[in-house]
Amino acid sequence: MPQLLVFLPCEKVLISGGETGDGTTTVVTILQSISVSIPKDSGPHLAAPMTWHIFVLWKTPIEDRGVAFEQNIDLLAPSGEAVMRFKTDFTASTEFQRTTTKVIGLPVSEEGNYILHLQLVRADDPDLILTDAKYPLLIQHQKDAVDGSEAVAGDMENTKV
């Protein structure tokens, strides 16, 4: 079974030489908490206008190389509602397997601890969860009046999960 080495949200992931290089990975700005300004008269579906990434690094034993896996990540609001969902299929081919998910926008409607919830399953047995991990991300609201010169949360009513 692949061993989870790293699971975190960050601003950016840089891979040396691209996918054909030596594979050295640099993670820029690990996200732990985000403070957002909430405009007066804002709607119920808000998102911070930011691009961010979810970086996951697995160590794959020899017996799992060539095996197809599904990596599922949900972003859970403090209420427990899944506000974003990401599925990545991969076949483990080397000792270290990484996945990077680019995300545009960050739901911030609820203030509090959001949870990134990762589950890994074999593609041929999706009911058997091999790995279950969680990462907390604190969202804090600033309810001050916004003058338009700073990043603010915007309406994401048409965003689908």
Domain-embedded: residue 104: yes
Task: Please count the structural domains in the chain.
Answer: 1
Rounded alpha-carbon distances, angstroms, from residue 22 to 14, 16, 26, 73: 12, 6, 12, 27
Task: State the pLDDT at residue 108.
Answer: 94
State the Cα–Cα distance between residues 130 and 150, nearest whole angstrom.
42
Domain-embedded: residue 18: yes
Domain-embedded: residue 156: no
State the Cα–Cα distance between residues 116 and 74, nearest whole angstrom.
6
Domain-embedded: residue 80: yes
Give the tens place of pLDDT for each residue, 77-129: 999 999 999 999 999 999 999 999 999 999 999 999 999 999 999 999 999 99
Domain that holds residue 42: 3-143
Domain-embedded: residue 157: no
Of 108, 112, 89, the residue nearest 99 (C-alpha): 89
Domain-embedded: residue 12: yes
Q: Which two tokens stand for residue 159?
A: 């965003």
Q: Which two tokens stand for residue 13?
A: 């992931």
Can you give the CATH number for the domain in which 117 is found?
A: 2.60.40.10
pTM, 2 dp:
0.85
Domain-embedded: residue 159: no
Domain-embedded: residue 42: yes
Rounded alpha-carbon distances, angstroms, from residue 95 to 2, 8, 41, 54, 64: 9, 20, 51, 20, 9
136: which strand partners?
115
Q: What are phi and psi of 41, to 5 degrees?
A: 60, 30
